[in-house]
Amino acid sequence: MGGLLAAGLALGAGAWWLRGDGAGSVTIDSIGDRVQTVPRGRWPVFAAKPEVAELYRFVATEGDWAASVPCTCGCADLGHTSNRSCYIKAETAERVTFTSHAAT
């Protein structure tokens, strides 16, 4: 019985870690993109593929560059002000709200 309890606790702890360690749920915004708020340094679930995660990481850490590049996908009428807007919807010093716009 003790082994079963230990296995259940280990599985629960693993599921908590996979959940994103403070990551919010994925929701849909007003323009139909998925959004997720995560602690800074973590990536949204829609950036699961390594090459997509690398793009999100680059934009999040090299924000000045991405903020100076106009978006070329025609989303300016959706409120996007730069290429960075296609990846990041909002941010604070501790958390980033990512949008799936660039991933889709």
pLDDT at 59: 92
pLDDT at 18: 44
Write out residues in the chain with pLDDT < 50, as ranges: 1-20
User: How would you write 10-71 as a 3-class SS string?
Assistant: HHHHHHHHHHCCCCCCCEECCCCCEEEEEECCCCCHHHCCHHHHHHHHHHHHCHHHHHCCCC
The pTM of the whole model exceeds 0.85: no
What length does the chain have? 104
